[in-house]
A = this chain, B = another copy of it.
Amino acid sequence: MRLDAPGSERFLQSHSLGMSFAGGEANVAVALAHWGLTSRLVSKVPAHDLGTACLQAYRQHGVDTSFVARGGPRLGIFFVENGTTQRGPQVIYDRAGSSFTEVSPNDFDWPRIIEGANWFHFTGTAPALGLQVNAALREALEHCRRHGITVSFDVSYRSALWSVEEAGETFRKLLPFVDVLIGSEQDARQFFGVDLSNDSKSTPETREASLRALQSEHGFRAILFSDRTVSDIGHHFFAASLLMGEPSLVQDGGKQHPVVVHTPSVEIIPVDRIGTGDALAAGLIRGLLLGHSPQATLNFALAAAVLKHTIPGDFALASVAEINHFASGQPLTRIRR
């Protein structure tokens, strides 16, 4: 459950909170379903009305929630103070003891869940939620491997949940199951040992070098690195680079692999930056599932993420047509009537 202080109010001023439901993996599922792909959510929410309201929120966009277990004590909550310009967003997490952290092996019937599936996506916040979630995740990943289901992993490190060391150790154990990695140069340096002695500034060139180094060591089928810088006044500059490790996933006209493609950096004045990484991930997954070219895939993913910044809430509620329009370099800034 996401609870938002209104407008640019501080928590200290608010007397009501916007209520919505969101989460990294759920955001990806919603974006894919909204774009017409079939997506299923695997999670656990309490049996009370707020748990039902949570499922409604995903179901309205077409996500299949029939495999979400019901029970346990509570919904995880995060409180969002959106901020503005010089004062960026502040998030207070309140998810200790949520129903999802208490999943048990019996909650999920993996054979039925993955029946007919060809992609499995998870983020780095799931393994941060404790042993039970990790056990369930591990079980899922083994099922995926057995059935040849592509696995994507969005690093999404949250320092409020665990240390870099703890996260790194856990992440590295998961890597053998991962086909598609989504992260940043900093993630590569912090968690996966890619230290090219560059300074902290990320450019297409540094990203390409890091991507190739990471790929040569771990052999992913695809890696997406994004880079976000924020100006003093709070404008964002967002760019991404994609490495395709092998020719099988996309149309690439017979290029020699690994191929690396880039986007230019896009200036953004964000309305809501939460969920933009999930929009990027969903855009990547869609392009890879549909066999688009690396550049088209990356452009779509970046456009989805950029447009997400203009939409309140976690969900990337832009249509394929709108995203393609934007990705093709045509603005959506004019009035459409």
Contacts and interface: CB of A to CB of B under 8 A. Distances in A.
A-B pairs, top 9 by smallest CB distance, nearest first, are: A91-B337, A60-B60, A56-B60, A87-B310, A11-B49, A88-B333, A230-B333, A234-B333, A89-B335
Contacts of A320: none
A313 B57 contact: no
Interface residues of A, number: 79
Interface stretch (A78-86, A137-145, A209-217, A245-253): A78-86
Contact of A79 (B20, B50, B90): B50
A69 to B, nearest CB: 16
9 contacts: A9-B312, A10-B317, A11-B50, A12-B49, A15-B15, A15-B20, A49-B81, A86-B268, A93-B337
B83 A96 contact: no
Interface stretch (A107-115, A184-192, A269-277): A269-277
Given A74-B94, A232-B331, A49 B87 contact: no
Interface in A1-47: 3, 7-20
Interface in A72-126: 73-75, 77-79, 81, 83-94, 96-97
A201 interface: no
A326 B47 CA distance: 21
A92 B48 contact: yes
Interface string A211-233: 00000000000000000001111
A85 B234 CA distance: 14
Contact of A84 (B87, B93, B271, B337): B271
**Identical subunits present:** 6
B337 A158 contact: yes
Contact of A14 (B19, B85, B91): B19
B90 A336 contact: yes
A245 B81 CA distance: 41
Contacts of A7: 312
Contact of A311 (B8, B48, B52, B88): B8
A18 B151 CA distance: 41
A336 B91 contact: yes
Nearest to A336: B90
Contact of A19 (B8, B17, B310, B337): B17
A233 B231 CA distance: 15
A10 B311 contact: yes
Task: Kindly name the residue among A18, A48, A78, A94 whose own CB sees the greatest number of chain B CB atoms within 10 A.
Answer: A94
Given A16-B16, A56-B61, A337-B90, A230 B331 contact: yes
Nearest to A79: B50
Given A96-B73, A267-B233, A317 B88 contact: no
Task: Kindly name the residue among A79, A92, A231, A326 whose own CB sees the greatest number of chain B CB atoms within 10 A.
Answer: A92
A306 interface: yes
Contacts of A93: 337
Given A85-B271, A87-B332, A3 B17 contact: yes
A98 to B, nearest CB: 10
A110 B158 CA distance: 39
